[in-house]
Amino acid sequence: MNNLPSASNQKAEIVSISEEKDLIYWTIKPGITTEVLKSAIRATRCVTLNDIFVYLDKKDIKHFA
């Protein structure tokens, strides 16, 4: 049972959009526009990539993972 990975052991990818190069990186990776990414961050009030993907899936916004 100790071989199972726990959620606390997994690192969440933090989306940083403070610099232009970071913003471009995080829009290219999932295949979304900067407006969609900023909107998802505002809507979720979260900056973890997993939470943003969950939001995009709920809104049926196409992205690549």
Residues written for the chain:
65
Domain ranges of the chain: 14-58
User: What does the pLDDT look like over 2-31, one tens digit per residue?
Assistant: 554 545 556 789 999 999 999 999 999 788
Q: Tell me the pLDDT band of 55, cut-offs 50, 70 and 90.
A: very high
Which one, of 59, 39, 3, 57, lies nearest residue 15 by Cα? 39
Indicate whether 62 pLDDT > 50: yes
> What's residue 12's pLDDT?
85
Q: What is the pTM of this model?
A: 0.73
Structural Rg of the chain based on CA atoms: 13
State the helix-helix crossing angle for 20-28 and 34-44, rounded to 10 degrees.
Answer: 90
Per-residue tokens: 55 = 């939001």
Q: Phi and psi dihedrals of 48, rounded to 5?
A: -90, 140
